[in-house]
Amino acid sequence: MQAELKSFGLSEAASRVYQALLRNPEAPAADLSAELDLSRGEVRSAYQELTRLSLLRSSWDDPLTMRPVIPELGLKALLAHREAELLAHRQEVERAQAAFEVVRAESASGRRFTQTEDLVGVDAIRDRLAELGARTRSQVLAFIPGGGQSESARRSSRPLDEELLLRGVELRTIFLDSVRNHQPTTDYARWLGERGGQVRTVPSLPMRMIVVDREAAIVPLDPERSDTATVLYGKGAIAAMCALFDLVWSGATPLGDTRSRDRNGLSGQHYALLRILHQGDTDVVAARKLGISERTVRRLISEVMDLLEARSRFQAGARAAELSWLH
């Protein structure tokens, strides 16, 4: 069933191409030309029109490939613009609203919602996050490991975070302490705080995790890879994820607060590093888990050895265990 999208300002060809891409985001332009009985020039013009209207975007996996923006974001944004522009013509706006609902239902009908849902590829993960965000009613909880966030990660997160906060959704985010030394990430965190988001930091995080409305959670399929994830449903699993988040949140430091050292002269980062090294992990693994450089790992180890008056890492570990610093 084809929905009428001309109320959004789309031509007939662009409307048909967009809905075809929603059904099959991987479809080559040549296949669309044959499937929709359009010339290659018409398909090319439709791509240009959809890109101009922000209904197509570059793939995160392959920037040369264009993918459709899901209706919950793309069409909804256009709808808001049309409502403001055509306030005096309610009948036209109502037709656009009806078209949006048809496309959203058609897009959702092809997706299966089970107790677990595996996602492969950055595009699939980001699209699912955007869809869950569009459906969020009250709260988002997030563990964001990895230290300073890349420009592309910040750029892709900003529109969704802003839309959530404008709707009054409670947004709680926990970064690693190391982001305090990465100005672009701290600027982004402060931007969240200025709009009502809550940001705290901890020395280490168990994994990347996002919990939506305490009903669904996105976690890695493989902690070593950023291009796979799974969506978890079910009261038991989500309750455990929320309990973990609440525990870490209660001990985290608000971003605006200064990190302090305890009476032993150590920071939370020192203790986290001691526990990681006690598990037998290398400096490389410790650096990745704490979101810091190997050079910083070596500096922290040197500080601990000086405080313990130890001549080797082994001796420092033994003394830290005697002092119960590893617990």
Q: For the segment 113-134, what is each residue's pLDDT rounded down to a tens digit? A: 446 788 888 888 888 888 888 8
Residues 228 and 291 in one domain: no
Q: What does the pLDDT look like over 154-165, one tens digit per residue?
A: 887 888 888 888
Does residue 8 have a pLDDT over 80? no
Most confident region among 142-151, 182-191, 281-290, 299-308 by mean pLDDT: 182-191
- The answer as to whether 260 is a domain residue is no
Note whether 184 and 219 are same-domain residues.
yes
Token couple for 13: 């060809």
- Out of 109, 137, 158, a domain closes at 109
**pLDDT at position 106, please?**
57
Pick the last residue of a domain from 254, 282, 306.
254
Write 293-302 long-range contacts (CB < 8 A, 24+): 296/178, 297/273, 300/269, 300/270, 300/273, 301/273, 301/277
Region 93-105 average pLDDT: 62
264: buried, middle or exposed (CB in 10 Å: 19+, 13-18, 0-12)? middle
Structural domain total, the chain? 3
pLDDT at 109 over 90: no
Q: Are residues 206 and 190 in the same domain?
A: yes
- Of the residues 200, 225, 254, which one is the last residue of a structural domain? 254
- State the chain's maximal CA–CA distance in angstroms: 80
Crossing angle of the two packed helices 122-135 and 151-166, in degrees rounded to 10: 20
What would the DSSP string read from start to end of 12-23?
HHHHHHHHHHHH
| Any domain includes 262 | no
C-beta of residue 217 within 8 angstroms of C-beta of residue 116: no
* Residue 274 belongs to some domain of the structure: yes
CATH number of domain containing 176: 3.30.870.10
pLDDT value of residue 112: 45
Residue 1 lies in a domain: no
Query: By mean pLDDT, which of 88-102, 204-218, 237-251, 309-323 is the weakest?
Result: 88-102
On whether both 213 and 310 belong to a single domain, the answer is: no
Task: Judge if pTM exceeds 0.75.
Answer: no
- With respect to residue 55, please indicate whether it lies within any of the assigned structural domains: yes
In a domain, 103, yes or no: yes
Among candidates 161, 131, 2, 1, which has minimal Cα distance to 69?
131
Band of the pLDDT at 204, cuts 50, 70, 90?
confident
246 and 308 fall within a common domain:
no
Q: What is the pLDDT of residue 110?
A: 47
User: 270: closest CA among 294, 305, 319?
Assistant: 305
Q: Are 15 and 4 in contact (CB under 8 A)?
A: yes
Region of residue 131 (phi > 0: left; psi between -120 and 50: alpha; otherwise: beta): alpha
Evaluate whether 75 touches 103 at the Cβ level (below 8 Å): yes
Query: Range with the lowest mean pLDDT among 87-96, 157-166, 192-201?
Result: 87-96
In a shared domain, residues 90 and 198:
no
Q: Same domain for 15 and 93?
A: yes
Same domain, 48 and 124: no
Residues 208 and 294 in one domain: no
More confident of the two residues 170 and 87: 170
Predicted pLDDT at 51: 87
> 10 Å Cβ neighbour count for 213?
16
Percent of all residues in the chain with a pLDDT value above 90, rounded to a whole number? 3
CATH number at residue 294: 1.10.10.10
> Is 327 domain-assigned?
no
Same domain for 210 and 87: no
Evaluate whether residue 221 is within a structural domain: yes
Q: Are residues 145 and 240 in the same domain?
A: yes
Residues 190 and 231 in one domain: yes
Domain containing 159 equals 116-254
Span of 4-8, 20-24, 64-68, 286-290 with lowest mean pLDDT: 4-8
The reported pLDDT for the residue numbered 270 is: 81
* % the chain with pLDDT above 70: 86
Q: Which residues contact 200 (CB under 8 A, 6 or more apart)?
A: 172, 173, 174, 175, 249, 252, 253, 254, 255
Residue range 268-292, pLDDT digits in tens:
778 787 877 777 778 888 877 787 7
pLDDT, position 211: 92
